[in-house]
A and B are shown apart, each in its own frame.
Chain A
Amino acid sequence: MSDLHTLAQRLMALDDRLAACMRCGLCQSVCPMFGATMKEADVARGKLALVNNLAHELICDPQAVAGKLDRCLLCGSCEAACPSGVKITEIFFEAREVVNAYLGLHPLKKMIFRFLLPRPELFNLSVRVGAPLQRLVLRRNHDVQETSCAPMLSFMLGKRHVRPLAARPLSALTGPLDEPRPEGGLKVAFYPGCMGDKLYVDMAQACLAVLRHHKVAVFLPEGLACCGMPALASGDAEGMLRQISVNLPVLRGDFDYLVTPCPTCTKTIASLWPRYAQRLGTLEREATARLAEKTLDITAFLVDVLKVEAPSDGEGSLAVTYHDSCHLSKGLGIRSQPRTLIKASRPCRLVEMNEADRCCGCGGSFNLSHYDLSRRIGQRKRDNIVESGAAVVAAACPACMMQLEDVLSQNHDAVSVRHPVQLYAQHLGLGGGPAA
């Protein structure tokens, strides 16, 4: 694309969808960004107006519009609350793609999305080389969240309190799995997601242990790549397509469901892969459509398919509050299943926090580029968690878990963070729960 007019013409593909916004402004009430800054350009209505103006050549500063579009967590809260049903995140993905194609993708992002992430063996190698070196730079915070900080890496990590990378990724610990389907039983493909594979390995192991407990055969192939969301969120649909192309042949196999402990992966595989595979061949289109039908969040699999139930009797002694991850609750409509799982796990007692379904402020790569805003949004979530009086906060999303660990650790709160499956695994005596 050479000029603004061409850019505008490409954005006009969004015109019908943009016209659906009636400018009612109700997105202000749910937008985490607007909650933090109270600026109209930070809320969906403002961004849709700017994309519309760029498409109609009423503004000639694509850099500024890209900057505004980037100030969004893609949490989908606005879309879930939108009275006129505007497909807001879909518009934002496509607008980011068009505008970034015009401005050019950052070389580092290009390297990561197009070269590193589509090559799982290389990604794993870089993590395995990096993990031992962490010891040299990470300083333990001695908090219940078990985070560390890295003053020497502050140029990169800022003041974040993060979980160290696992010494060995899940895929190296378990090796490839292709268990035989038990007589009359189920077999699932387990997609741990990058964070489940490399950061929250204990959580991913808890998932596998729970599946084994329920006598579900697991297919965990070698060579799974990233689902592509980070690339797409950065406007790099091409990078995502490459990652889909790597994953599809690896995920060929005989299984009933594809389960993941990461709702962003679930949402991406179930709804974005089929849409973006339209740009690939017929085989890919068919394969993504088949996968999409089988893809389920792990808490939904446990409760809806395996029928894990909460006991009706008694209340546990451990107060656990639950944070609704945006991609799980607003994106996939899964709200009751993780709660059922918590209630099914002794000694947990579910206590609801205020604004449980309000975004925690992580937003994946948003946290990397806008840490200050991410922290401000996270603080509101932290306040609600602490006010609930719970000793544990459960979140069924590794990205939320990372954000919650950071904000709680920064505030010196003795609240530990767990995936609901970890609580359930501990209840089953499979380990992985909070230190009592």
Chain B
Amino acid sequence: MANNALIKDFEALLGPENVFSSEADRQSYSYDSAVLAPVVPTLVVRPTTTEQLGQCVKKLYDNGIPMTVRGAGTNLSGGVIPDVPDTVVILTNGLNRILEINENDLYAVVEPGVITAQFAAAVEKRRLFYPPDPGSQSVSTIGGNIAENAGGLRGLKYGVTKDYVMGVEFFDATGEVVKSGSRTVKCVTGYNLAGMLTQSEGTLGVISRAILKLVPPPKASKALMAVFDDMQKAAEAVAGIIAAHVVPCTLEFLDNNTIVRVDDFTHAGLPRDAAAILLIEVDGHPAQVADDAEAVERVLRTTGATTVHVARDAAEKTKLWEARRMALPVLARARPTTILEDATVPRSQIPAMMKVVTDIAAKYRVEVGTFGHAGDGNLHPTFLCDKRDADEFARVEAAIDEMFETAISLHGTLSGEHGIGTAKAKWMEKETSRGTILFSQRLRRALDPKGLLNPTKLVSIR
């Protein structure tokens, strides 16, 4: 636990109700959603104003205390697990104000603790659209989304969080405020530090405010589902849809293992012998949606889909999506431990990647169900195990290692959207280069000479 003087200091600054020093409270900030060992922080503080946030950072820097910034704690790569036991966790959920939604200039200004889904709903009320929709959006924060460059189902057409960050204000390691970007579409004033902070996983600065781009919402949408008896045909369908110059807003797939498990659970009558199900949604102007849906249906039929369903109304659309919505919940119920990976490959390599995942599962005798974003090659091979079984868990870890090797050899990437954190740090050099690691470390040391901002994440400087 932190020394009393420091606790008193923070209590004077933030009020005792925003400083958590008891063992029980600190233990509840020792983990995130990654399957990694917890580390209990020495103290947890919750600033409720931007000024307080800056003062917290400065105080910790002056005292040489490592800090980890935490939003909702949904990170899947260990990004908000404290690095060392003397870490202080800074919570952002006291900074949850939407400061502005500008309908004329199509932007919003928010504090870092604003919850993604609540922000999207507030934007929707003003008849605008904030597309990034990570799986944890009902609880995740915008600050965390920016720090991890969170993706989601709409990545193929609408892009990911970084495509909506127009500007960021942040505190550097010493507590100085840094501003980058603006409320304008164009802004080339200074370095693109907002871009640098995006995806920085809490290692370069502490985000205090963000300017986000908004877009007009699509006026119509249509959903289709197709069943394939062969993964290769499903991949050809995906390629065919893109080649027909249709960019669906979502293009998801489920593998056989996931289909069977979902059907076991829901008794929805899914095709249990299917190799893959594709779920496709097109959106935009009603006339274009009708054209696109027709084009997609044509591609699905010519590439050999065994059945194609087109949702006629909202109720049918909800029903089509049910299988995809249930994918993770059903897989998560199968075994105690669920390791959700996000290896990503160029979409043409999906069949090769899926074959490797299946082979690896057999080789290491582990259970894997795969679903994911077929349109952008972002797969979610989900390893089902019991981490309390040391032998099984070792096989799972070996299988995951081999899967990463393959993803990299197929010109893919370790992580499409979950981040590196500590979970995948050891693979960084393999995908990039020695120089990349050294460059990143020199950058970090220059900006954070004491090495206090999430020091062991991404590329460790400890």
Interface residues of A, Cβ cutoff 8 Å to B = 16, 19-20, 22-26, 28-29, 38-41, 46, 49-50, 53, 58-59, 61, 64-65, 67-68, 83-85
Contact = CB atoms under 8 A, between A and B. Distances in A.
Interface stretch (B253-261, B330-338, B400-408): B330-338
11 contacts: A24-B33, A25-B74, A29-B139, A40-B29, A41-B24, A59-B27, A65-B24, A83-B328, A84-B333, A84-B338, A85-B329
B186 interface: no
A29 B74 CA distance: 12
Nearest to B328: A83
Nearest to B113: A38
B73 interface: yes
Given A20-B333, A40-B29, 20 more contacts: A19-B386, A25-B33, A25-B72, A25-B73, A25-B136, A26-B136, A26-B138, A26-B139, A38-B94, A39-B20, A40-B73, A41-B28, A46-B28, A49-B27, A50-B28, A53-B27, A64-B22, A64-B23, A83-B328, A84-B329
**Residue of A29, A68, A85 with most chain B CB atoms under a 10 A cut-off:** A29
Contacts of B208: none
Contacts of A65: 24
Interface centre among B22, B24, B387 (most CB of A within 10 A): B24
Contact of B337 (A19, A40, A85): A19
A40 B333 CA distance: 23
Contacts of A23: 31-33
B54 to A, nearest CB: 21
B125 to A, nearest CB: 12
B93 interface: yes
Interface of B: 20, 22-25, 27-33, 38, 46, 72-74, 93-94, 115, 117, 136, 138-139, 328-329, 332-333, 336-338, 386-388
B333 to A, nearest CB: 5
Contacts of A46: 28
A25 B74 CA distance: 6
A53 B38 CA distance: 11
A85 B333 CA distance: 6
B33 A22 contact: yes
A26 to B, nearest CB: 6
Contact of A19 (B38, B136, B388): B388
Contacts of A40: 25, 28-29, 73
Nearest to A64: B24
A46 B30 CA distance: 10
A64 B22 CA distance: 9
B32 A49 contact: no
A29 B138 contact: yes
A357 to B, nearest CB: 15
Contacts of B22: 64
A22 B337 contact: yes
A49 B24 CA distance: 10
Contacts of B386: 19
A177 B328 CA distance: 52
A24 B136 contact: yes
Nearest to A31: B139
Nearest to A46: B28
A65 B23 CA distance: 10
B28 A84 contact: no
Contacts of B25: 39-41
A286 B377 CA distance: 55
B201 to A, nearest CB: 18
A254 B23 CA distance: 55
A40 B38 CA distance: 15
B324 to A, nearest CB: 13
Contacts of A41: 24-25, 28
B24 A61 contact: yes
A49 B28 contact: yes
Nearest to B89: A40
Given A19-B388, A85-B329, A25 B139 contact: yes
Contact of A58 (B27, B139, B328, B332): B27
A29 B93 CA distance: 13
A159 B407 CA distance: 63
A88 to B, nearest CB: 14
Nearest to A25: B74
A115 B28 CA distance: 38
B336 A20 contact: yes
A32 to B, nearest CB: 14
A41 B117 CA distance: 22
B336 A19 contact: yes
A68 B329 contact: no
Given A19-B386, A24-B33, A25-B72, A83 B24 contact: no
Given A26-B136, A84-B332, A59 B94 contact: no
Nearest to B140: A25
A61 B332 contact: no
A127 B30 CA distance: 48
Given A22-B33, A25-B72, A83 B139 contact: no
Contacts of A58: 27
A372 to B, nearest CB: 12
B23 A61 contact: yes
A28 B24 contact: no
Question: Which of B72, B139, B387 has the largest count of A CB atoms less than 10 A from its CB?
Answer: B139
B74 A24 contact: yes
Nearest to B38: A49
A267 to B, nearest CB: 22
B415 to A, nearest CB: 18
Contacts of B337: 19, 22
A120 B74 CA distance: 49
B93 A38 contact: yes
Contacts of B32: 23, 25
A65 B38 CA distance: 18
A59 B24 contact: yes
**Considering residues A22, A61, A64, A85, which has the most beta carbons from chain B within 10 angstroms of its beta carbon?**
A22
Contacts of B72: 25, 28
A368 B46 CA distance: 29
Contacts of B93: 38
A49 to B, nearest CB: 6
Nearest to A82: B329
Contacts of A16: 336
A46 to B, nearest CB: 4
Nearest to B96: A38
Nearest to A67: B24
A20 B331 CA distance: 12
B332 A22 contact: yes
A93 B236 CA distance: 52
- Best-buried of A40, A59, A64 by chain B (most CB within 10 Å): A40
Contacts of A68: 24
Contacts of B328: 83
A218 B135 CA distance: 51
Contacts of B336: 16, 19-20
A34 to B, nearest CB: 9
A28 to B, nearest CB: 4
Nearest to B93: A38
